[in-house]
Amino acid sequence: MRFDVNLSILFTELPMLERPAAAAAKGFDAVEMWWPFDGPVPADAELDALERAINDAGVSLVGLNFDAGHMPSGDRGLLSSKATSLRFRDNIDVTVGFAERLGCKVLNALYGNTTDDSDVELALENLALAAKSASRTGATVVVEALNSFENTRYPITSTTAALQVIDQVPGTAFLADFYHLARMGEDIPALITNHADRFGHVQIADVPGRGQPGTGELDYPAILRQLAASPYQGPVGLEYKPVGPSDESFGWLEAMR
């Protein structure tokens, strides 16, 4: 099984451009990240610098979010709101183009919080535009369910809700984040049994604190064995908040190898 490090939540002790090398130094050959720039259309120099940092580290980019707004302030995507739709559309080809440069085949489009101007049809239209653009490079757009405890206005909070959206937009798949789904009470082994063939990407963290596996309630050795034997054969993204320094949070993984 191949694991990748989400550089937007791990190695945050370092500037972003130093994080790919830090992941490589811990033995990882793949990384993913949320949209790492301040706006939807960053300067060419910013894109070039990040591309160079990833390539120089010798790691692959296996997952990238579209611009989702200012996530530290609570934004969780742009595609469902009339006020932010244009920003999302401006970002589509930039994200797809940057992913293509690095061979990244999974692009996460966070749906967006429910607001006064949310529009389901607009969300599906924007998701379809993103999927069409991604398909030209062989990439897949994934849709993620988040837990409602930390994301109180995010409307997609279950596997069922995510699949209802995915079923309406060809070229999309399910981002199964086991942390968020377990927080919502979903049975992760049953989820793998029933829906692993719909997974476009998997992310993990323990419950309830979102720390590394072994710090919470989930039986990750058993879960990961089951996942390895399932139809899903893609990478598993480590998207946890490390308990302690990032580079000391991988003991659980070393014990499994």
User: Is the pLDDT reported for residue 256 higher than 80?
Assistant: no
Catalytic residue at 144? yes
Mean pLDDT of the chain: 97
What pLDDT is stored for residue 90 in this prediction? 98
> Is residue 27 exposed (0-12), middle (13-18) or buried (19+ Cβ within 10 Å)?
exposed
Residues 13-34: pLDDT tens digits?
A: 999 999 999 999 999 999 999 9
Query: What are the two backbone dihedrals, phi and then psi, of residue 105, each rounded to the nearest 5 degrees?
Result: -115, 5
Query: What's the topology of domain 3-256?
Result: TIM Barrel (3.20.20)
> Does the pLDDT value for residue 69 go beyond 70?
yes
Provide the pLDDT for residue 175. 98
Whether pLDDT at 257 is above 80:
no
Band of residue 254 on the pLDDT scale cut at 50, 70, 90: confident
How far is 76 from 171, CA to CA, in rounded Å?
Answer: 21
Percent of the chain past pLDDT 70, that is, above it, reads 100
Q: Looking at residue 70, what is its pLDDT?
A: 94
Rounded mean pLDDT of 148-170? 98
Q: Which among 51, 100, 150, 239 is annotated as catalytic?
A: 239
Residue 205 pLDDT: 98
Q: Considering 144, 186, 217, 254, which one is annotated as catalytic?
A: 144
Q: What is the DSSP string of 86-150?
A: HHHHHHHHHHHHHHHHHT--EEE--B----TTB-HHHHHHHHHHHHHHHHTTT-EEEEE---TTT
The whole-number pLDDT of residue 142 equals 98
Mean pLDDT of the region 80-85: 97
96-120 tens-digit pLDDT: 999 999 999 999 999 999 999 999 9
Report the largest interatomic distance among the alpha carbons of the chain, rounded to a whole angstrom: 49
Q: What is the mean pLDDT of residues 173-194?
A: 98
Residue the block writes with tokens 């894109």:
47
Tell me the mean pLDDT in the region 43-55: 98
Residues 105, 140 contacting (CB under 8 angstroms): yes
Tell me if residue 100 is catalytic.
Answer: no
